[in-house]
Structure 1
Amino acid sequence: MTSDPWLDLLGLINGFQITQAIHVASALRVADHLSGAARSAGELAALTRSHPDSLYRLLRALAAVGVFREEEGRTFTLTPMGDCLRTNSGTPLGAWAEVVGSPYFWQSWGHLLHSVQTGENAFQDLNSKDVWQFRAEHPEHGATFDRAMTQFSRGSAEAVIRAYDFSPFRHIVDVGGGQGLMLAAILRAHPHVRGTLFDQPDVVAQARAVLAKRGVIDRCNIVGGSFFETVPEGADAYLMRVVIHDWEDDEAIAILKVCRRAAGEAAKLLLIERLVGPPNEMPATKFSDLNMLVSPGGRERTREEFSDLFAKSGFELTRVFPAGIHNVIEARPH
């Protein structure tokens, strides 16, 4: 079938409607209620305390784009895509849908023109504070964001473990590792490895339960602190998952220099990050880069830009291993 440029562009222009619809379905936990059983729109309305006809209109729209499937009698079932909205999905995205659909998040995107014209961060300009301070002051938003990052780790951990061989290491420090899901997956896959989880004290406060649930707490230390000041020394691998993209070059280099001071000459630095691809390709990473511009700050980078960061902080890029939507970018001290 021949593509219609007008219709294709209209679909892109109206993409926000799908985003908001998925956000509402996730906030109402519709996928959890559909887990293992078909339900009518009326049943779902009762379970979610929603207006029956309005909920039906939401669900049929999402069924039209493959998130759910509409059966006879206004009954709905889960699709593989919709399954990713379940709280206990193996590849969950529900918390991220809740973050993206929150007013504080999409209002920053509404300020994109300001960022493009000035180079300034949209969220900072709108709120007179950065998004990290905002989440610290609004714990409910911070908790949802932390849950989204944990879900992302769960969804990407298997791809990372398949892509990179962690078996040569004996001690891995996960710098900025959140609640420890990525590190726990590595330790489970490699029983001889010890780990240290390092992040801000209020973040790692919730990590013990995550590590204990996955049976690795006996091989993992939990340390709170700032990676701008110090990180634990003596490991043979320093891992950072989607940390460096949160920062502009000067701050990124400062973080990497702290890691370099802690790392021995034989240690490896492992960044799990997206890579910006060639022109006209890989839109997801390039739109993620725009998200960095308007909300958290920082940027997505090309392989060459990572190599330049490493050179300025005492490392040398050695290899890149594709791992799903991310890459494991390996560097060594020089």
Structure 2
Amino acid sequence: MNDTEIARGSTAERPHGVADGTGLIDEALAYAAPAALRAVAACGVADHLADGPRTARELAGTTGLDAGALHRVLRLLVTRGLFTEDPEGRFALTTRGALLRGGVPGSLRDAVLMLTDPTFWGPAARLDHCLRTGESVFTEVFGVPFFDHFARDPATAAVFHDGMAAMSSVEDEPIARAYGFPATGTVVDIGGGRGGFLAAALRTAPGLTGVLYDRPHVLAGHVLGPAADLAGRWTIAEGDFFEKVPTGDFLVLKRILHDWTDEQSVTLLRNCRRALAPGGRVLVVDAVITPDARPHQGKTLDLLMMASLVGRERTEDEFRALFTAAGLRLTRIVPTPAVLGVVEGVAD
């Protein structure tokens, strides 16, 4: 290795300590990548590459962005597999980068904007507060708790709900099919947002009916109405799931429990137990953290829960403890192609 290779940042064949040090600095710099990702998502850059490769200068002409700055941002994202750059300096979308386009099937642009929104980004920068106190830092940053902030800021609430819908759009059908709902019964999607998972569940079996349960302002944006194949098979119900939930055969809590403390989660699960039809099931659809060193998206999301909310991602044992405290018995965990599992429980 020559001095030029070292200057360029190669870690190949470096002394062990130097390589470790460079790797640690890389970890400290890693936040620049999601910053770049957010920037191109916010500026809609991927939409301008749908028809083929373009140089940064050509992209600048159609987007109104600065060509030099755009080239530097895209150059970093090339190293992350989101774009490619050819010898002529033309950038193109990869399969993964194409998910940054807006308004296309499977788009994750809104999910990226949600996960990099200041509501998560700001508190994440203050994790030291969480380490010192064991508490969320969100109220200290924004003045009120997470969901109270959304109640007073409709624009931020829209970012959250759009982002959650985008994340759900690519996982709802695989999760519903992996669980394997029976031919008949009533599925209640508790805190179900716009109804994407309920729609996916109903489509797995034509004899199923469903209830979408959430706050009125969330239900106003539900997606069930236009679907002809779901006509007559669903209703909506408004309410607070900490007070009560509708009766059904399958009470679904998808990406809900991880928002809340153990005590709040037990309260919610008890409400579900009371509302279960005879022989019914409670289905908690959340990340199930494995007790080993394997990478898992849930371990990253867990830190966002810690910083911005009051909940956490949980292990199988932690779910079992919650179920037991609520008078439920954990019967099985159904793996899915997504990062979430289906934790199933019955009345004990």
Instruction: Please give the TM-score of this superposition, normalised by the length of structure 2.
Output: 0.90
Residues 211 and 45 (structure 1 numbering): CA distance in 2 closer, same or farther, change over 3 Å? farther
- Which moves more between the two structures, 49-58 or 14-23? 49-58
Partners of 2:40 and 2:187 in 1: CA distance: 38
What is the rounded CA distance, in whole Å, between the counterparts of 2:88 and 2:159 in structure 1? 35
Whether the 8 Å contact between 2:44 and 2:101 is mirrored in structure 1 is: yes
1:26-57 deviations in whole A, cap 9, x for unaligned? 11111222224223323322332211221122
Q: Which residue of 2 aligns with 1:260?
A: 273
Partner in structure 1 of residue 240 of structure 2: 226
Q: Is 1:184–1:214's contact at 8 Å kept on the other side of the alignment? A: no
Q: Which residue of 115, 121, 146 maps to 1:131?
A: 146
Task: Return the match for 1:198 from 198, 209, 213.
Answer: 213
1:175–1:198 CA contact under 8 A, matched in 2: yes
- Larger deviation: 196-205 or 100-109? 100-109
Q: Deviations over 1:270-325 (max 9, x none)?
A: 11110111132234222211111101220111101111111111211001111121
Structure 2 CA distance, aligned partners of 1:197 and 1:86? 29
Residues in 2 aligned to 1:36 and 1:160: alpha-carbon distance in whole angstroms: 33
Structure 2 partner of 1:212:
226
Residue 75 (structure 2) pairs with residue 60 (structure 1): yes
In structure 2, do the counterparts of structure 1 residues 161 and 245 end up closer, same or farther at CA, with 3 Å as the change threshold?
Answer: same
Larger of the two Rg values belongs to structure = 2
Give the alignment partner of residue 74 of structure 1, picking from 89, 92, 116: 89
Q: Which stretches in structure 2 are left out of the alignment for 5+ residues?
A: 1-11
Q: 1:28 corresponds to which letter in structure 2?
A: C
Q: 1:182-203 CA deviation, whole Å, 9 max, x = no partner? A: 1111212322211110011111
Q: Is the 8 A contact 1:69 1:79 kept in 2?
A: yes
Call closer, same or farther: CA 1:271–1:277 in 2, change over 3 Å: same
Distance 2:53 2:228 in 1: 31
Range moving further from structure 2, 88-97 or 236-245: 88-97
Q: How many residues align?
A: 332
1:244 equivalenced with 2:257 (yes/no): yes
Rounded to whole Å, the distance in 2 between the matches of 1:67 and 1:117 is 37
Q: Determine if the alignment matches structure 1 residue 275 to structure 2 residue 288.
A: yes
Query: Hey, what does 2:6 align to over in structure 1?
Result: none
Give the corresponding residue for 1:314.
Answer: 327
Q: Distance in 1 between matches of 2:331 and 2:306?
A: 28
Residue 255 of structure 1 aligns to a residue whose secondary structure is helix
1:187 corresponds to which residue?
202
What is the SS of the residue equivalent to 1:193? strand
Structure 1 residues 147-166: aligned runs within 5 Å: 147-166=162-181
Match of 1:302 among 279, 299, 315: 315
Q: Is the 8 A contact 1:184 1:211 kept in 2?
A: no
For residues 161-210 of structure 1, what are the alpha-carbon distances to aligned partners after superposition, in whole Å with 9 as ceiling and x for unaligned?
33211124421000010000111112123222111100111111110x45
Structure 2: distance between partners of 1:43 and 1:185: 41
CA distance in 2, matches of 1:267, 1:306: 18
RMSD, aligned CA: 1.9
> Does structure 2 conserve the Cα–Cα contact (< 8 Å) formed by 1:169 and 1:237?
no
CA offset at residue 85 of structure 1? 1.3
Question: SS state of the match for residue 100, structure 2?
Answer: coil
- How far apart, in 1, do the equivalents of 2:296 and 2:207 lie? 39
Render the CA deviation track for 1:120-158: whole Å, top value 9, x for unaligned: 111122223111111222211111110111111111113
- 8 Å CA contact 2:120, 2:304 repeated in 1: no
TM-score, normalised to structure 1, is 0.93
1:177 to 185, 192, 215: 192
Q: Is the 8 A contact 1:83 1:89 kept in 2?
A: no
AA in 2 matched with 1:165: G
Change in CA separation of 1:171 and 1:36 when aligned onto 2, cut-off 3 Å: farther
Q: Is the 8 A contact 1:87 1:94 kept in 2?
A: yes
How far is the alpha carbon of 1:18 from its aligned partner?
A: 0.2
Partner of 2:9: none
2:100 touches 2:108 (CA, 8 Å); kept in 1? yes
Distance verdict in 2 for CA 1:331–1:168, change over 3 Å: farther
Aligned match of 1:117: 132
Structure 1 residue 211: Cα displacement: 4.3
The question of 1:85 aligning with 2:100 is answered yes
1:95 aligns with 2:91: no
Of 28-37 and 78-87, deviating more is 28-37
Checking the alignment, whether the CA contact within 8 Å between 2:173 and 2:197 is kept in structure 1 is: no
Question: Can you list the C-alpha shifts for 1:223-277, whole angstroms capped at 9, x where unaligned?
Answer: 11110111112x2111111101100011001111111111123101111110111
Aligned-partner Cα distance in 1 for 2:284–2:296: 21
1:170–1:236 Cα contact (<8 Å) kept: yes
Kindly tell me: are residues 218 and 7 of structure 1, through their superposed partners in 2, closer, same or farther at Cα, counting changes over 3 Å? farther
Distance 2:330 2:183 in 1: 18
**Secondary structure of 2:107's partner?**
coil
| Residue in structure 1 matched with residue 20 of structure 2 by the alignment | 5
Equivalent-residue separation in structure 2 for 1:242 and 1:105 (angstroms): 16
Question: For the residues of structure 1 that align with 2:174 and 2:24, how far apart are their CA atoms?
Answer: 33
Report the Cα distance in structure 2 between the residues aligned to 1:141 and 1:97, rounded to whole angstroms.
14
